[in-house]
Chains A and B, each alone.
Chain A
Amino acid sequence: MTTESGTDSEAKQPQENKETEKGKAKAAASQQSQAAAEPSSPQNQPEQLPAAVGHSTPARKEQEQQEEDQESHRSSISRLSKSPLRGVKKVKIMQCKVSLLDGSDFTLDVEKRARGQVLFDKVCDHLNLLERDYFGITHKDVENQKNWLDPSKELKKQIRTGPWNFAFNVKFYPPDPSQLTEDITRYYLCLQLRDDVVSGRLPCSFATHTVLGSYAVQSELGDYDPEELGSDYISELRFAPNQTKELEEKVMELHKTYKGMTPAEAEIHFLENAKKLSMYGVDLHHAKLVGSLYESLAPALGEDSEGVEIMLGVCASGLLIYRDRLRINRFAWPKILKISYKRNNFYIKIRPGEFEQFESTIGFKLPNHRAAKRLWKVCVEHHTFFRLVSPEAPPKKFLSLGSKFRYSGRTQAQTRRASSQIIRPAPLFERSASKRYNMSLSLDGAPIMENHETLMKDTAADGAAKVIAKGDIITTVTTEKKAEEEKAEQEDTAMDEADTLEPTATTPLRHDTKDTEPPAEMVKHQTNISELKRSFLETGDSTPGLTEWEKRLSSSPAHSPRADEAPMIEPLELQDTKDEPPAGEDTKEEMEPKATEAAGYLVKYVADSIVTDGATSSGPHGISLSTTMDDDVFMDGTLREVEEKTPDSQDEVSERSALKVSPGAVRQEVSQAIIDKKGTLIILKEDRLDTEGSEMSILGEKEEPVVPGEPEAQEKDSLSSSIETETIKEDSAVVIEAQMTVVKTLSPKIDVKADDMTQNKGIDSPKKAMASWISEEVKIEASEVISVSAEEVKEVMKCDSLQQKAEFFTFEEVVQTEQSKSIFTQNSIPESSTTTIAVSTLGWVSSSQKAPADPEQKTVLATETEEGPAESTGPTLQSLENSEVGTKEMPVVHTETKTITYEAAEVDTNGDADPGVLLSAQTITSETTSTTTTTHITKTVKGGVSETRIEKRIVITGDAEIDHDQALAQAIKEAKEQHPDMSVTKVVVHKETEITPEEGEEED
């Protein structure tokens, strides 16, 4: 391997040199010397740490495996990397040094282009660790700040300068370590905590130091044995930042009492104590307060909190705010509606309290932009890991501005489920004398893997487990969501019943369809839910929600506790009970409440949209479950603000007027719309809500195997629905004015749609949402985008003001989704059922998603039928033109331009031979920070056959950090996902690259 990398590096020398030069420029003084040494001896490049090579223990097998990895990696990209520029490149190997938790270093080689995951997996394999999701790899940046490696990103993009040195660390501290499946996992967690304690990150009292220290000693050295250990053994170990003789004596005293305790037991005791420490698993970030926050920060009376130095602590339960050592506030995740960052600032939007009317946004000033982003990322990750059932998908490119970063690993719920399937026998591992705490030099700190055979076997088992887990994730994710949905639906019913508007008409109808429409799916949910329940029950055996106190009260024999005590003793966190799981005190219960609690969200949510949609904005606010952290999801507060503040653009004005018509008028308009083609737009506007919602949070459910089973039911539906159409439309029109409640009461489909809507939570116009979003986050970037798009994309509408642009964008976006749906419906009826699938896969929850699609479909169907039934037979045709341009923003840049066209054989014959009758043409543009997507949709009728062409232009601007292949693949994937019934017929890649290659710019 060494030689191979050596030759590689020689081949790569010029490139390397450039990089190192760049690195040099940026490197801190300490790193400079090393960087400078590299160009002179290129062979050394991959071996920055020659001394460490001998140290590295990877077996030969591992190296082979690594080669395979490279092979597969290469082949996977080769398809797309035919460009001459790429062809030149050879695989570069980088040597990585990873500091392990026991203080030893693990040296390994990885391909330079490898993603973080590769490195992480190799380290975990080396450590024989299966429960990996709690861990991560850190890298120190130039400012000596630890950054978590993003497993989904290439290493080289995450390491700007300096040697490839990393550390393996615990990323998510499990609130209840006893729930970890394997002792080996706990062992590593212990090592991390010992380091946390010794370094002072985890402060504890003298008494706790002695307790933790004594268990650490027992775990590492075994029973107290003066003959073997000597009398001074204890001072060779480190327990505290300031270790005293007294502490050592106390530790020894305790150690003596543990005779017979196994290392694993000692570690459990260690963790049981450590987890109770208030700073356990709290990731601290320096910040300053922005603005005066008397209400939310409880400062001393009259104190101006502006500019006060604080610490933000991210942990499993939320965000903690410290001033010095004092906790001055805490925001549990459910309390946080949104987090964002901009330049140096980090913002959290807080759900209004019981007596408050509006959300408040609290700003914190971080030392710099990177720190703000780092904090934001850590928050996103912690929130996802600890609060969500499954990770969110990164926002769709064409819809999102700002960072696309999302936590992509498993959540705690998923990892627990996955690790419950670990089947290997407890691995043998040696608790290496931990170098880090050991002051003597006598011990070899290298981790000892018991035998490699076990290791290999385990790795295999690991793989298997992973597969299972993955399958598991997909199903469970959906079920769990569905479970929530169902709960929400039930709640809806309750709501409806309470609602006086039109309760009677609706309920029967809903029940009707509930029974008839989704039976197959339902059954599946049922089973999955019961599976889920089982798995939850396995973990949680005690009665959830019942505190020790309640138990004691209810156990009182003389009494029926409910009647008497209930009014008197109340759980303190009444409002929070739904939102918050017991933080880890009663961890056994944790799983169970979480499930129900998640359901609670939606429930609340729905209620909310009813309340908040009304004129008043008071009352408790809903929670955005999976989208809480989403940059692009807007809560009603934001919307309201925007409504008030943003000057209306043309679009918006007309939109508003449409919204403000009385129900009757709307109905008129809608029926008009059915006849009048133009009307479609209006309808679309109305339906937009849910589409928008579904678009916004696309989950990884696209592979859901259930979906294909659906078409027939759907088909029938759409056939029979034409009669209903009118009604539905009327009502959906009313929705906007008369609120969700009305919608919900309409029909089961719309009812579900309401669920969908909850995502947007009373957003009455996504346009406004977008506007606010843009005004909040993107102003700076947007200007760039405009210029690029003006240059590169002819169809882009030019806007004179940023705000307008934003609004325009949203508007069009909405139309686009609608439009594409209507297009689908045109094609044929069976096609249309597929469309439903498309929609459902796009949607947040697949089961219910279908429903929201329905009304729209019907709408469109009705419209289309008037025009001519012939349309329904046409073949789908789509040409997707994908132009990907990497441009530099600089005014004078030498660029290399390249155009590659991939074309499907059948395409152009239809497309261009007969232009047909143009039915409609539409151009939609959307932008993200680095991407401008222009979608051009043309509908034509040729001899009774309708044809829809969607051309997408995606202009990706950015520094060299863009992985063009990946971007293209992503674009194609997205296109396919959006229009699964269409085919990609043409891909044109137009690439403009700056001649001087530059790598490793700011990520996203």
Chain B
Amino acid sequence: MAGLMAGFGHYTHAIVRGIPASLAGEALRSSQSEVDIAGARREHDAYVEVLRTRLQLEVVELPADESLPDCVFVEDAAVVCGDTALVTRPGAESRRREKEAMSGALKDLNLNIVEMTDENATLDGGDVLFTGREFFVGLSKRTNQRGAEILADAFKDYAVSTVPVQQGLHLKSFCSMGGPGLIVIGSSEPAQKALKIMQQMSDHRYDKLTVPDDLAANCIYMNLPDKGHVLLHCTAEEFPESTKVFEKLKDYTLIPVSNMEKVKVDGALTCCSLLINKKGNN
């Protein structure tokens, strides 16, 4: 069995979910915008294809549920670390039932399931940044103290620090991990402030990669056999300046992934998949 904190970015499985037609009209969003549902589906298919074909992950694809317009954003429904999966209680009432399909899929993967049953607790996976060494949980519109506490109980090995999210939907709306010990962070003031807090709270040292656009700071890092460091990031079309920053990363397999449509309903790259490492776990 792998020890604690071994192999950050190692993944074998990904859980994704289809886009219901209801996403266009009913999915939650912070700004009014028209979503081209076909475009969103194309995007999503391409995204899943990257995971499945290019990165050779075992992709578990859950069917879309029309009654759950936001269900494509599977990241919010669960937090997986090691062989434990915490099924969350999303902050948005309309998303609470997303966990049903999610729990089933996680059980099928033989993970230890921890359910967030406390009715005072809310937590969106998008507020959870796992650095490989510790958790940062954004206290946001969707995630509260109690939710963070339950997460801390579920993953006892790790320090869980709370970070107020003053702008944007989630903590990961402006940051993500870009590698072991590398935090990708947006340049906005709230983003930088949040980073400061994280830095102060942590016993560990991180490097930061600052990108001009907050949304572009949400990317997906993996460390895969035969492929090494892989980074799924925004396209030059969306965020040309930020893309330039990513392109400077050396020894990385860089995969730009388009996210034009899903972003309209506050979906970032990490939101659309739940990555799991089954190797080394029994």
Using a CB–CB cutoff of 8 Å, the interface residues on chain A facing chain B are 203-208, 210-211, 250, 254, 272-273, 276-278, 298-301, 317, 323-330, 332, 335, 353-354, 547-550, 552-553, 556, 558-559, 561, 564-565, 568-573, 576, 582-585
Q: CB-CB < 8 A to B200: which residues of A?
A: 329-330, 332, 335
**A206→B112 contact, CB < 8 A:** yes
**A325→B205 contact, CB < 8 A:** no
**B157→A569 contact, CB < 8 A:** no
A947 to B: closest C-beta gap in Å: 59
Determine whether B208 belongs to the interface, using a CB cutoff of 8 Å to chain A.
yes
**B82→A205 contact, CB < 8 A:** yes
Known: A207-B83, A324-B149. A549 touches B4 (CB 8 A): no
Residue of B nearest to A583 (CB): B203
Q: CB-CB < 8 A to A582: which residues of B?
A: 205
Residue picked from A207, A561, A584, most chain B C-beta under 10 Å: A207
Q: CB-CB < 8 A to A276: which residues of B?
A: 3-5, 133, 157
> Please, how many angstroms separate the alpha-carbon atoms of A561 and B249 in the complex?
10
Q: CB-CB < 8 A to B210: which residues of A?
A: 568, 570
Determine whether B48 belongs to the interface, using a CB cutoff of 8 Å to chain A.
no
**B203→A207 contact, CB < 8 A:** no
B21 to A: closest C-beta gap in Å: 35
Determine whether B251 belongs to the interface, using a CB cutoff of 8 Å to chain A.
yes
Known: A276-B5, A276-B157, A325-B160. A584 touches B207 (CB 8 A): no
Residue of B nearest to A301 (CB): B164
**A553→B160 contact, CB < 8 A:** no
Q: CB-CB < 8 A to B126: which residues of A?
A: none
The range of chain B's interface size is: 35 or more
Determine whether B161 belongs to the interface, using a CB cutoff of 8 Å to chain A.
yes
Q: CB-CB < 8 A to A583: which residues of B?
A: 203-205
Determine whether B179 belongs to the interface, using a CB cutoff of 8 Å to chain A.
yes
Determine whether B201 belongs to the interface, using a CB cutoff of 8 Å to chain A.
yes
Known: A329-B200, A565-B248. A549 touches B208 (CB 8 A): no
Q: CB-CB < 8 A to B54: which residues of A?
A: none
Q: Give the contacting residue for A556; candidates B1, B207, B250; CB below 8 A.
A: B250
**B160→A208 contact, CB < 8 A:** no
Instruction: Contacts A210-B1, A317-B203, A549-B179 known; list 20 others, CB within 8 Å.
Output: A206-B84, A208-B4, A208-B157, A250-B282, A273-B3, A298-B139, A301-B166, A324-B152, A325-B152, A326-B161, A327-B159, A330-B200, A332-B200, A561-B250, A569-B207, A570-B210, A573-B205, A583-B203, A583-B204, A583-B205
Known: A206-B112, A576-B199. A585 touches B204 (CB 8 A): yes
Contact with A along B160-202 (1 / 0, CB 8 A): 1111101000000000000111110000000000011101111
A-B contact pairs, 10 of them (CB 8 A): A207-B157, A210-B1, A211-B3, A278-B157, A278-B203, A325-B149, A325-B152, A549-B207, A553-B250, A572-B195
> Please, how many angstroms separate the alpha-carbon atoms of A548 and B132 in the complex?
14
> Please, how many angstroms separate the alpha-carbon atoms of A229 and B208 in the complex?
52
Q: CB-CB < 8 A to A324: which residues of B?
A: 149, 152
> Please, how many angstroms separate the alpha-carbon atoms of A207 and B162 in the complex?
24
**A330→B203 contact, CB < 8 A:** yes
Residue of A nearest to B145 (CB): A300
**B155→A326 contact, CB < 8 A:** no
Q: CB-CB < 8 A to B166: which residues of A?
A: 301
Q: CB-CB < 8 A to B3: which residues of A?
A: 211, 272-273, 276
**B153→A325 contact, CB < 8 A:** yes
A342 to B: closest C-beta gap in Å: 26
Residue picked from B5, B197, B203, most chain A C-beta under 10 Å: B203
**A585→B205 contact, CB < 8 A:** yes
Residue of B nearest to A329 (CB): B201
Residue picked from A206, A211, A325, A548, most chain B C-beta under 10 Å: A325
Q: CB-CB < 8 A to A277: which residues of B?
A: 4, 157
Q: CB-CB < 8 A to B201: which residues of A?
A: 298, 327, 329-330
A211 to B: closest C-beta gap in Å: 6
**B162→A298 contact, CB < 8 A:** yes
**A548→B144 contact, CB < 8 A:** no
> Please, how many angstroms separate the alpha-carbon atoms of A254 and B1 in the complex?
8
**A549→B182 contact, CB < 8 A:** yes
